[in-house]
Chain A
Amino acid sequence: MPKLEIDGRQIEVRDGATVMDAANALGIAIPHFCYHKKLSIAANCRMCLVQVEKAPKPMPACATPVVEGMKVFTESEYARTAQKSVMEFLLINHPLDCPICDQGGECQLQDLAVGYGKSASRYREEKRVVFHKNIGPLVSMEEMSRCIHCTRCVRFGQEIAGVMELGMMGRGEHAEIVSFVGRSVDSELSGNMIDLCPVGALTSKPFRYGARTWELARRKSVSPHDSLGSNLIVQVMANKVMRVLPLENEELNECWLSDRDRFSYQGLNAADRLTQPMLKIDGKWREANWQEALAAVAKGLKNVRTQHGPETLGALAAPHSTLEELYLLGKLMRGIGSQNIDFRLRQMDFSADAKRTGAPWLGMKVADISRLDRVLVVGSFLRMDHPLVASRMRQAAKRGQQVNLIHATDDDLLMTVVNKAIVPPQALPDMLAQVVKAVAELKQKPVPAPLAGIGVGDAAKNIAASLNTGANTGVFLGNLAGQHPQAAQLQLLAQELAGLLGAGVGFFGEAANSVGGYLAQAVPGAGGLNAAAMLAAPRKAYVLLNTEPELDCNDPRAAIKAMHATEFVISLSAYKGYALEYANVMLPIAPFTETSGTFINAEGRMQSFNGVVRPLGDARPAWKVLRVLGNLLGIKGFDYDSSEQVRDEIARPDEVAAKLDNRLSGIALQIPPAAVAGLQRVADVPIYFSDAIVRRSAALQQTSAAALPRAWMHAALLDKLGLKAGQAVKVRQGDGEAVVNAARDDRLPLGCVRLAAGHPATRDLGPMAGDISVEPQ
């Protein structure tokens, strides 16, 4: 623990700390560009030069390790001269285009030039010109002459995103930042490079020339997409969301955002935004005022209830809805006598319902994931479903965390995965059972009786061997596991495994309120129907909250059928969408930026937020709409003054932890056979199709991750079916069919076809798992 003195102040720092670390700890600001606390040290900008006693030349603070007794001066004449000289060099080639630069006002070079630059340049020669590049729809590289070659963007790719897509080509005067010969940057975390770039070289394409930073108000919010609950700074101008930036929260998103969190705001004001209540009268839509519309809803619901009974009413809510919305919808349904409400729209297996001790959750804090030394991930499209959890594990893997994977596809996770077992979806339980058995044998513990007949293969043995040597292990069930037809069995097995290992176990969770939905009791009550059952046995009336059933439900075909067959559909949504085809009333509600609300993330963290702009047009926060509706229907207990009041009725933040519990009781282990006849579907939900907002973000929709779904198959399967990659094929599930292109992925197991769900191109197909057939078109 060396001690040193900086600008006359003493401090003791850990071994290996740099002068920059020490200065930061003292709150002394040293000018810098290439240094970033989350990235490796490059020491290439030289802006951080300081004077070190007895050193023969100025030293870069970011790369100089502290030694005992060091005396550092950051503001001495000597240091200042060095810093000013560096600034003069940096500005030699930097264009003087601040007035038309998007970074103007939030540019580190601009800021530091004020302090360290000269008012006029001595450089009279020609400045160099660097050509612009096109690396995709999100990050703009239009003005690369501004680049100061700090390589933050390059290091971000290598170190955080796990894929080096940008690099520095050439050297000296000819150095420039490029992607490999014109390729695009496809990382799901690419937007962070914009934040990292200290100058206006990398800027946001969607935000470009939209506003000046000082015109924007900064408001806090929480991401409604994945279950991490990333903290956001939403920047607004004239009541419009202009841009979204990360709000640093070391325990969740650190200083990053996924591109989904960052660019989804473009979908908020999409063309099909619903801004006025609408009624369908005699098959024609017309705008209505709230009073009329709500009266029509109340009347419609009452009619169905009197004619067909309350059990014919059903409610489906997206897990991206706020806690308050989910709770009030449940309360409303129960108030009119129906127990049919669910938010788990993509779930298939509900056998765990009523067997749960509490709400299923991550089983630990998000930050704890970084501290695990062994991890088993079961059934997860990790990078696409949980981009920042993946990044957290990537960092941990570099420090020695052993990541094991059991999954149905073998997408590159851009981290070291020590063992993986890639099996067809129906074989996931069997594979996990093998691991349980192998671990039990290693630990010399009794093997659970139902696993007696399971044969343990090498893949399982390897995973077991890795897990067995851990001191701090986590077993996680991903989205595919949660949506699996044997989800409960997978969970039982995971629990069994965790029990043997003394490990933490939990669900990554699909959406912002996948935990919250349980706490809000947006699940069927006694005798009620779950999401799948409500579609399998169509109801006479549906209340839809924030949801597009044909894209959000596990079985879009059943959903569409049910919506068309029913008498009365009320869509509470921010968008018109397909509701135009089947709804009777559309009520415009506010997306997360226009309402107050709460999300409970995977770790059970309750995060409340306020609206950052006023609702668009006549849209209203859904909790208020439901409140009025509750009163109109004469249900007791709907007199809330604020969303906080609703929230407090559900749980206070400190009460959440007690309600989280992954345990199941009263379900027996029963491992389905690993082999089945016929092809099985593996369905991922592409990252930019996960919910109604991202589906409408124009920029995200132009990325390669949003490409049209294809039917991915192993080469051997293509051959067997007489198909060629690229050819159009007809895919069938039951009586549903879709035409897509075939594609080849030899990392897929045989016997299955990967075809994305949540996408309009596959909305005529059946469930996300099960039999599927492919034939030439």
Chain B
Amino acid sequence: MLSAESLKRIDREIAKFPAEQKQSAVIAALAIAQDEKGWLATETMDFVAQYLGMAPIAVYEVASFYNMYDLAPVGRHKLTVCTNLPCALSGGVDAAEHLKQCLGVGFNETTADGRVTLKQGECMGACGDAPVLLVNNKRMCGSMSNDKLDKLLAELK
């Protein structure tokens, strides 16, 4: 189901917790699985559940809670703009609007060429740097003026 490489990485995560608390590694395991597969299909979550000795639904709870996990295929790049209240008050929604304009897609949509998926995110704990967005779940960008957004888009192939 997952490559030997991924399993090795997951095993390393598991090793960080006491044996009877294997399931603490679920967040990392899902991230690793997503790195390999691009997104988390039902079977992938099922596999992770089995691997960690958890109920599949418990894995699903985690995977659906954090919007870094994708439960459906996404484009080559994923932009997650925070639109929670503090961000919304300082330009978060406008930044999202700008991206929508440039990309010609709405939230939860992918550009026709499969390049970018736009998502709406929850507070990333960086409200002071609003507008804030995440690139591909891992790279955090702050103070995203329209200029900076345009530059970012140009960067994404």
Interface contact A164-B42, CB-CB below 8 Å: no
Cα-based distance from A552 to B9 in the complex (angstroms): 55
Interface contact A180-B60, CB-CB below 8 Å: yes
Cα-based distance from A522 to B76 in the complex (angstroms): 75
* A179 cross-chain contacts in B, Cβ below 8 A: 57
Interface contact B56-A180, CB-CB below 8 Å: yes
Cα-based distance from A169 to B61 in the complex (angstroms): 5
Within 8 Å by CB of A165, from B42, B46, B57, B61, lies B57
From A166, A178, A181, name the one whose CB has the most chain B CB atoms within 10 angstroms.
Answer: A181
Tell me which residues from 128 to 186 in chain A have a Cβ below 8 Å from any Cβ of chain B: 158, 163-172, 178-181, 183
What 0/1 readout, one digit per residue, does chain B (74-86) give for beta carbons within 8 Å of chain A?
Answer: 0000000000000
What 0/1 readout, one digit per residue, does chain B (44-73) give for beta carbons within 8 Å of chain A?
Answer: 001000000001111011001100000000
B94 within 8 A of A: no
Interface contact A171-B65, CB-CB below 8 Å: yes
Cα-based distance from A140 to B65 in the complex (angstroms): 25
* B61 cross-chain contacts in A, Cβ below 8 A: 167-169
Chain A residue nearest in CB terms to B66: A171
B13 within 8 A of A: no
Cα-based distance from A166 to B61 in the complex (angstroms): 10
B122 within 8 A of A: yes
Interface contact B60-A181, CB-CB below 8 Å: yes
Cα-based distance from A158 to B58 in the complex (angstroms): 10
Chain A residue nearest in CB terms to B60: A180
CB distance from A159 to the nearest CB of B (A): 12
Cα-based distance from A318 to B56 in the complex (angstroms): 41
Interface contact A167-B60, CB-CB below 8 Å: yes
* A178 cross-chain contacts in B, Cβ below 8 A: 57, 60
Interface contact B64-A169, CB-CB below 8 Å: yes
Within 8 Å by CB of A164, from B58, B64, B65, B122, lies B58
Interface contact B64-A180, CB-CB below 8 Å: no
Interface contact B60-A169, CB-CB below 8 Å: yes
Cα-based distance from A170 to B64 in the complex (angstroms): 5
* B55 cross-chain contacts in A, Cβ below 8 A: 158, 163-165, 167, 180
Interface contact A166-B57, CB-CB below 8 Å: yes
* A170 cross-chain contacts in B, Cβ below 8 A: 64-65
Tell me which residues from 462 to 517 in chain A have a Cβ below 8 Å from any Cβ of chain B: none
CB distance from B44 to the nearest CB of A (A): 12
Cα-based distance from A179 to B46 in the complex (angstroms): 13
CB distance from A178 to the nearest CB of B (A): 8
CB distance from B89 to the nearest CB of A (A): 18
Cα-based distance from A180 to B42 in the complex (angstroms): 9
Which range contains the number of A residues in contact with the other chain? 10 to 19
* B56 cross-chain contacts in A, Cβ below 8 A: 180, 183
Cα-based distance from A650 to B3 in the complex (angstroms): 69
* A158 cross-chain contacts in B, Cβ below 8 A: 55
CB distance from A294 to the nearest CB of B (A): 57
Cα-based distance from A179 to B65 in the complex (angstroms): 15
Cα-based distance from A732 to B157 in the complex (angstroms): 67
From A163, A178, A180, A183, name the one whose CB has the most chain B CB atoms within 10 angstroms.
Answer: A180
* B65 cross-chain contacts in A, Cβ below 8 A: 169-171
* B60 cross-chain contacts in A, Cβ below 8 A: 167, 169, 178, 180-181
* B64 cross-chain contacts in A, Cβ below 8 A: 169-171
Cα-based distance from A196 to B57 in the complex (angstroms): 20
CB distance from A416 to the nearest CB of B (A): 10
* A171 cross-chain contacts in B, Cβ below 8 A: 64-65, 122
From B46, B60, B122, name the one whose CB has the most chain A CB atoms within 10 angstroms.
Answer: B60
From A167, A170, A172, A179, name the one whose CB has the most chain B CB atoms within 10 angstroms.
Answer: A167
From B42, B56, B61, name the one whose CB has the most chain A CB atoms within 10 angstroms.
Answer: B61
Interface contact A172-B122, CB-CB below 8 Å: yes
Cα-based distance from A375 to B10 in the complex (angstroms): 36
* A183 cross-chain contacts in B, Cβ below 8 A: 56
* A180 cross-chain contacts in B, Cβ below 8 A: 42, 46, 55-57, 60
Chain B residue nearest in CB terms to A171: B65
Chain B residue nearest in CB terms to A172: B122
* B46 cross-chain contacts in A, Cβ below 8 A: 180
Cα-based distance from A163 to B64 in the complex (angstroms): 20
Chain A residue nearest in CB terms to B41: A181
Cα-based distance from A103 to B46 in the complex (angstroms): 34
CB distance from B33 to the nearest CB of A (A): 16
CB distance from A548 to the nearest CB of B (A): 38
Chain B residue nearest in CB terms to A176: B64
Cα-based distance from A163 to B58 in the complex (angstroms): 11
Chain B residue nearest in CB terms to A170: B64
Tell me which residues from 115 to 141 in chain B have a Cβ below 8 Å from any Cβ of chain A: 122
Cα-based distance from A444 to B156 in the complex (angstroms): 76
* A168 cross-chain contacts in B, Cβ below 8 A: 61
Cα-based distance from A178 to B56 in the complex (angstroms): 12
CB distance from B107 to the nearest CB of A (A): 13
CB distance from B80 to the nearest CB of A (A): 15
Cα-based distance from A170 to B65 in the complex (angstroms): 4
CB distance from A160 to the nearest CB of B (A): 14
Tell me which residues from 3 to 59 in chain B have a Cβ below 8 Å from any Cβ of chain A: 42, 46, 55-58
Cα-based distance from A183 to B64 in the complex (angstroms): 16
Cα-based distance from A166 to B57 in the complex (angstroms): 7
Cα-based distance from A168 to B60 in the complex (angstroms): 9
* A166 cross-chain contacts in B, Cβ below 8 A: 57
Chain B residue nearest in CB terms to A179: B57
* B57 cross-chain contacts in A, Cβ below 8 A: 164-167, 178-180
Cα-based distance from A178 to B57 in the complex (angstroms): 8
CB distance from A613 to the nearest CB of B (A): 40
From A164, A166, A183, name the one whose CB has the most chain B CB atoms within 10 angstroms.
Answer: A164
Chain B residue nearest in CB terms to A166: B57
CB distance from A241 to the nearest CB of B (A): 34
Beyond A164-B58, A179-B57, list 6 extra A-B contacts (CB 8 Å).
A158-B55, A164-B55, A167-B61, A169-B64, A180-B57, A181-B60
**8 closest Cβ contacts across the A-B interface?**
A164-B55, A167-B57, A180-B57, A169-B64, A180-B56, A167-B61, A181-B42, A170-B64
CB<8 Å pairs between A and B, sample of 7: A164-B55, A167-B60, A170-B64, A171-B65, A172-B122, A180-B55, A180-B57
